[in-house]
Structure formats: structure tokens, C-alpha cells
Amino acid sequence: MEERASYNEHPIGSDGTPRTSKRITRAMIDTKLATSATTFHRVSPTCIVCCIVLANGWNLIGHSACVDPANFDEKLGEKIAREKAVDQLWALEGYVLASEPPMGEVGLHSPRVADEGGSERIGA
């Protein structure tokens, strides 16, 4: 199935400014999806649900539906449902990337250590 292109794949913005290296790319998403399992379920005459189970067990769920059963196209429904599930992965990976502190800065995920007085502080 062909996926939608993402603006994240373009190193130069539409205004000509270069994008930073801190971004999610299609290759990064494809790497996560390569080790995932995808299933489709037709839950009604007009609705398909896609479940992508990532390697760590996290589930991404997408769905598609049409109003009239006469318009139902299973392959198109699967494609749309999968795209919606994959969109969640983009958001999750973006959140993780945004949560990382810039190089050299201490962040929430830095190890906590006790100083000589027993108080905890962030840092190595």
C-alpha cells in the first residue's frame, strides 16, 4: 500500500528555510512499522478497523466507514484505516522527540542522583 507523503520528508520548507535535523522522517516510521503486525477487521457492512501492534506491544487503531453499503470498497477502506493508524505513530514519535532535551541540557529523563546531603538532583 502506498502511504501519503509527509512534509517531514522535505529538508527545505516551502519558504526556502532549511529544517532542523530534529524531525521525524518517513524512514523512521517505516522502520517502526517493519517490525509491527497489522490486522484488519470488518466490524459492520460499512466499517473497517485497522490495528497495528508495534514491537513494544503498543496498539495503533484506525478506522474507515462509508454511509451507504453499496459504496463500500474493502481495499480502499483498509488503506484509509491504516493511514489513520499510522498517523498516530507520527504523533507519538513527534511527542517523544519533542520531549528530548537539547544536546547538553538536563531534562526530565535525566538520571536523578543524591548529593552529599541526601537531596536528589538531576544530572549524572
Please tell me the predicted confidence (pLDDT) of residue 3.
46
- Number of domains, the chain: 1
Domain enclosing residue 43, as ranges = 7-98
Please tell me the predicted confidence (pLDDT) of residue 2.
44
Is pLDDT at 38 greater than 90 in this prediction? Answer: yes
Please tell me the predicted confidence (pLDDT) of residue 17.
79
Dihedral-angle region of residue 65 (phi above 0 means left; psi in -120 to 50 means alpha; beta otherwise): beta
Q: Is residue 105 part of a domain?
A: no
Please tell me the predicted confidence (pLDDT) of residue 13.
72
Helical H segments across 1-124, by residue range? 26-34, 74-99
Q: Is residue 120 part of a domain?
A: no
Q: Is residue 114 part of a domain?
A: no
Q: Is residue 88 part of a domain?
A: yes
Q: Is residue 2 part of a domain?
A: no
Q: Which amino acid would we find at residue 42?
A: R
- Which range (24-28, 50-54, 77-81) has the least confidence? 24-28
**What is d(CA 80, CA 50) in angstroms, rounded to the nearest whole number?**
9
Is pLDDT at 113 greater than 60 in this prediction? Answer: no
Q: Is residue 122 part of a domain?
A: no
For 9, 19, 41, the CA distances from 58, given in Å and listed in that order, are 25, 29, 18
Q: Is residue 34 part of a domain?
A: yes
Please tell me the predicted confidence (pLDDT) of residue 102.
74
Q: Is residue 107 part of a domain?
A: no
**What is d(CA 21, CA 51) in angstroms, rounded to the nearest whole number?**
30
